[in-house]
């Protein structure tokens, strides 16, 4: 009797955040093409399970707690190491650029550890790496890890029919056909809570007042953000914050355009809709704007840009979005 051939087990490791995980999907797709028979596992925080649960290129999602890496919780870290050792992973793509990700892969006994070198310690713990380039797009940085040029850099989310149906029912219930999605968020991730990528309230009010002259407006965001948007709601504006991920992307699918700051919703929108207006402040669109044909960029803070925030998570002290006057833009 022939022995069963063991499937190669390939893992991707990234704990956060929503937009960053979506920006790893072009790499996942390429690795799957080159390894059609491998078992592909994505290791992430439980909060991002829904981002990947229907991804056709991933066989299994292994959810762990990010506190094992970032909260100096030794017991949680040791438990995580034992979990990964039991998985017997053959090859791992370390997609977090902090050296702690590479260290976790190393101490978990994974033989082939591919990743991006930002710090010296990453070099110590990775055995297959490329230099993390601060002036390169995030997706292109990840795609350095495959040995061929990649043409398809589109983000991937497997939108379900039930979520499209939900969006159509919402449109029917609120009696609107043409609508735009508006999101003012960004800067509320692990070890970050200041909302630095959000438009100031006066700038957001101006944007809303201009848009509602032409369109119905839908707000999207997390449940915790619902209260923030309530003061802007009127007969032309619907506050849909608090929906699940699929439902939110379903609403984006049918939107005439999405207006958003640089946050997870920007990348959610790019999975289903090419008509996006992205408003940047402390981050650079050259590093994180999605590759979609209908993209319009608003970035008036280029002279203030430094790599410290986007590459190292150091909150800048400058004020952003202060010069924006939405009246001069074709909205």
**Domain edges within the chain:** 9-143, 161-328
Q: What is the CATH number of domain 9-143?
A: 3.40.50.2000
**Token pair of 242 as six digits:** 């608090």
Specify the 3-state DSSP secondary structure of 241.
coil
Task: State the DSSP code for 225.
Answer: G
Q: What is the structure's pLDDT at 316?
A: 86
Site of tokens 């009010």? 205
Taking the CB of residue 296, how many other CB atoms lie within 10 A of it? 14
Q: What is the structure's pLDDT at 177?
A: 82
Task: Report pTM.
Answer: 0.94
8-58-294 Cα angle (round to 5):
135
Task: State the DSSP code for 281.
Answer: S
CA-nearest of 171, 168, 165, 190 to 264 is 190
Distance CA 312, CA 294 (A): 30
Superfamily of domain 161-328: Glycogen Phosphorylase B; (3.40.50.2000)
Task: Give 27's contacts (C-beta < 8 A, 6+ positions apart).
Answer: 12, 93, 95, 139, 142, 143, 145, 146
Q: What is the pLDDT of residues 267-293, one digit of tens each?
A: 999 999 999 999 999 999 999 999 999
Distance CA 122, CA 132 (A): 10
Q: What is the mean pLDDT of the chain?
A: 93
CB of 187 within 8 A of CB of 197?
yes
| Residues of the chain scoring pLDDT < 70 | 1-5, 187-193
Asked if the domains at 9-143 and 161-328 fall in one CATH topology, the answer is: yes
CA-nearest of 12, 13, 25, 11 to 267 is 25
What percent of the chain clears pLDDT 70, i.e. is strictly above it? 96
Q: What is the structure's pLDDT at 188?
A: 64
Q: What is the structure's pLDDT at 220?
A: 97
Question: What DSSP assignment string belongs to 176-195?
Answer: -SSEEEEE-----STT--S-
CA distances from 44 to 35, 94, 155, 209 (A): 21, 11, 18, 39
């Amino acid at each position: 009797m022939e022995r069963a051939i063991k499937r190669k087990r390939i893992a991707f490791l990234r704990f956060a955040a929503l937009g960053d995980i979506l920006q790893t999907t072009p790499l996942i797709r390429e690795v799957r093409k080159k390894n059609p028979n491998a078992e592909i596992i994505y290791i992430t925080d439980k909060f991002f399970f829904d981002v990947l649960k229907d991804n056709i290129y991933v066989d299994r999602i292994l959810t762990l707690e990010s506190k094992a890496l970032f909260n100096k919780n030794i017991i949680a870290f040791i438990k995580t190491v034992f979990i990964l050792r039991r998985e017997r992973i053959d090859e791992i793509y370390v997609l977090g650029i902090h050296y702690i990700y590479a260290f976790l892969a190393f101490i978990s006994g994974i033989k082939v550890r591919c990743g991006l070198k930002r710090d010296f310690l990453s070099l110590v713990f990775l055995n297959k790496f490329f230099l993390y380039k601060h002036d390169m797009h995030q997706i292109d940085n990840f795609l350095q890890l495959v040995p061929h040029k990649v043409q398809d850099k589109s983000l991937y989310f497997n939108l379900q029919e039930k979520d499209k149906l939900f969006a159509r029912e919402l449109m029917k219930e609120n009696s609107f056909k043409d609508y735009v999605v508006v999101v003012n968020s960004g800067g509320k991730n692990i070890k970050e809570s200041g909302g630095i990528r959000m438009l100031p309230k006066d700038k957001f009010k101006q944007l809303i007042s201009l848009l509602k002259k032409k369109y119905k407006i839908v707000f999207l965001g997390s449940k915790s953000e619902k209260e923030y948007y309530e003061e802007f709601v009127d007969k032309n504006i619907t506050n849909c914050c608090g929906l699940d991920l699929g439902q939110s992307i379903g609403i984006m699918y049918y939107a005439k355009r999405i207006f958003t700051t640089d946050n997870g919703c920007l990348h959610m929108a790019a999975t289903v809709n090419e008509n996006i207006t992205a408003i940047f402040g402390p981050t650079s669109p050259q590093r994180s704007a999605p590759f979609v044909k209908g993209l319009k960029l608003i970035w008036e803070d280029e002279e203030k840009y430094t790599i410290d925030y986007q590459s190292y998570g150091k909150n800048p002290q400058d004020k952003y979005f202060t010069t924006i006057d939405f009246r001069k833009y074709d909205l």
